[in-house]
Amino acid sequence: MKTTASGTTLFQLTQLGAINCYLVREDDGFTLIDTASSGQAQPIIQAAAKLGLPIVRIVLTHAHSDHVGSLDALHAALPTAQVAISERDARFLTGDQSLDPSEPQTRLHGGYPICQTKPTLLLHEGDRIGSLEVIATPGHTPGHISFLDTRNRSLIVGDAFQTLGGVAVAGTIKPLFPLPALATWNKDLCLASARKLLALQPSVLSVGHGRMLNQPQAAMERAIHILERALAHEHEHEHEHEERKASHVA
């Protein structure tokens, strides 16, 4: 895996030029954010060893296969490391793909593999795990979360944004790398979550797919406007469709 540093506390590990996970340096070792696809446990452990610290925590932004793929192998190799995910996306790890009645009933997309590993900690908005604050950012998946490093405001957002093929909010199709958009559950929630992330005034945007971006706020704002316009257009069409249906009935 390719290792790219951002300052002295954040390291991006990249599989096949397209799939990222992150090591965040803490006093007691590394927190690993996401686990890439399957087969990456040893490369991830080796990357951490090369940087001189063990992995003591594994946290997950969401339950898609390119983020939890090496979870079971990592847990087997690092059985004492804490494993944390949002309470909502933890359900996917058990094979439960039901939606709650309170959630938008849009269809789930993307792969949600069953994992043998049981999380040791279920995360919620505002929780702290080491230096990281949990930010609830539903939309790409129902329980998607992001992490704000409170030491330097670097933000690790999983698939809430992407930068590969251009900066985009989850749900906006980027022809050069459309996968995150195609795996997205609910675009309206993605938009609300993207606004919430921008309001945190991040110093670095670190995504699941694509390079890290320094001083990302202008690019995030542009990406938000693009999805806003696309959704306004979609909703207008839905509205017209509803009206046509209603006039037919009348």
Q: Which is nearer to Zn ion, 25 or 209 (CB)?
A: 209
Scan residues 148-167 and list those touching Zn ion (CB under 5 A): 159
Per-residue x/- track, 169-208, Zn ion (CB under 5 A): --------------x-------------------------
Residue 90 to residue 122: CA distance in whole angstroms: 8
Please name which of 224, 196, 190 lies closest in space to residue 104, comparing C-alpha atoms. Answer: 190
Q: Which is nearer to Zn ion, 13 or 183 (CB)?
A: 183
Residue 61 to residue 68: CA distance in whole angstroms: 9
Least separation in angstroms between CB 158 and Zn ion: 7
Number of residues that bind Zn ion (CB under 5 A): 3
Scan residues 61-100 and list those touching Zn ion (CB under 5 A): 64
57 near Zn ion, rule: CB under 5 A? no
Q: What angle do CA 141, 147, 148 make, to 5 degrees?
A: 145
Please name which of 33, 185, 19, 35 lies closest in space to residue 110, comparing C-alpha atoms. Answer: 185
**3-state DSSP call for residue 194?**
helix
Q: Which is nearer to Zn ion, 78 or 183 (CB)?
A: 183
Least separation in angstroms between CB 250 and Zn ion: 43
Residue 241 to residue 11: CA distance in whole angstroms: 48
Interface contacts to Zn ion, rule CB under 5 A: 64, 159, 183
